[in-house]
Amino acid sequence: MEVAQKVLTAYNIYPLHVEKITDNVHKINDGNRDYALKRSRFTSEREIRLWTHVYEQAHHQNLVSVLPVYLTKAGKMHTIQNQNVYYLTPWLEAAATQNEKRTIEQFYRVIGNIHMKTKQVHTVSSTDFLPGFKEYMSYCDEIQEELLGFVEKFEKNRYMSPFELSVCTHYRDLNFALKEMKRRIDLLLDIEEKTIPWNSSLCHFDLQSEHILQTRQLHLINWEKASYDNAFMDLAAFFKNESKKFNAPTNDMIDLFNIYMHENELTKQELYILSIYLLDVTPYITSIQQYNNRKSGGSIVNQTKMIQYTYRQIMFGLKWSKFVEDEFETLEIDDLES
């Protein structure tokens, strides 16, 4: 409370009411309007510069979906108190009732528009990144053998733990995901061009439903991890964050993706790499290794929950890969035949 009041003096705001929402967020009311005061998690000057750049871009590109920040009396976007960086935004209440499908539609339009408006195009040599995928292909073969070994070990137990039972139940799907990922890598390695176009866009890097604020329009909040990278990195983070949830609207997330493609069309190579990211089974295997070596430190219940989260992400990756093939790659073949 005292720290919040000191921070707010930098904005000439004198609060009548301060409500703690989380450890890092306070709701402020000064008798006229509500504000959100955020203690950031910045760890370097570079992160602050990139975060500041988001709002400069939002101003120049008219990105109205980026929730604005207030300037201090000194004209700065943030202020420092007790070695912590704070910033102030409007407090917006989410709509009382929300249409999930409509929110996903708006989200795809908004993030696709941001990725397109901030896109920087350059070329890269295919020899710069393809060898890494070749190495990963070999790693997938090793994982496949290791996964089978764990399943055979667990099945020898007279009574399997919930974790072990989950692994054995998931094995068939995990094995298929590994085969599908290797097939995707093969398609990527078939690139014949010596150089390919590579796109970099302003990416949020922490896209999840908690950072999507639906009022009369959709806003994206919490840009503290923002950076420039290929747009598929932003999408991969969003899909992984959301698909691990039990009740995630995964069908809508896939079926409505054409809306994003209309705003910012991904190349064939970008779609391949996005599929590979979504099919990555490394976190799943790591969880089994930690369980097997008794290095997790968590309870069996929590370990089982975590592996279920990862399994849902991989299953989403399988659905996604099939969608991409049916919707975009088949279309290319049909175009060639016509």
In a domain, 252, yes or no: yes
Rounded CA-CA distance 278/285 in Å is: 15
Based on the fold, state whether residues 257 and 239 are members of the same structural domain: yes
Overall domain count for the chain: 2
Check residue 337 and give its pLDDT: 47
Dihedrals φ, ψ of 220, to 5°? -105, 125
What is residue 336's predicted lDDT score, i.e. its pLDDT?
Answer: 44
Residues 75 and 109 in one domain: no
**pLDDT at site 192:** 76
Q: Which of 28, 57, 90 is the last residue of a domain?
A: 90
Judge if 160 and 134 occupy the same domain: yes
Q: Of 38, 71, 90, which one is at a domain's C-terminal end?
A: 90
- Which of the listed residues 66, 90, 114 is the one where a domain comes to its end? 90
Average pLDDT of the chain to the nearest whole number: 92
Question: Does residue 248 sit in the same domain as residue 274?
Answer: yes
Amino acid letter, 254 = I
Instruction: Say whether both 134 and 85 belong to one domain.
Output: no
> Greatest CA span in the chain, whole angstroms?
71
Please indicate, yes or no, whether residues 105 and 238 belong to a single structural domain of this protein: yes
- The answer to whether position 53 is within a domain reads yes
pLDDT of the residue at 130: 86
Residues 50 and 139 in one domain: no
Tell me, what's the pLDDT at 5? 87
Asked if residue 173 and residue 65 are part of one domain, the reply reads no
pLDDT tens-digit series, residues 218-260: 999 999 999 999 999 999 999 999 999 999 999 999 999 999 9
- 55: CATH: 3.30.200.20
Range of the domain at 44: 2-90
Residues 138 and 263 in one domain: yes
136 and 266 assigned to the same domain: yes
> What whole-number distance in Å separates Cα of residue 200 and Cα of residue 315?
28
Q: Domain for residue 95, yes or no?
A: no
Could you tell me if residue 137 is inside a domain? yes
CATH number at residue 142: 3.90.1200.10
Both 79 and 154 in one domain: the answer is no
Angle at CA of residue 299, ends 295 and 300, nearest 5°: 95
Ranges of the chain with pLDDT below 50: 332-338
Answer whether 15's CB lies under 8 Å from 93's CB.
no
Please tell me whether residues 73 and 120 are part of one structural domain: no
Report the C-alpha gap between 8 and 3 in whole angstroms: 9
Residue 334's pLDDT is: 47
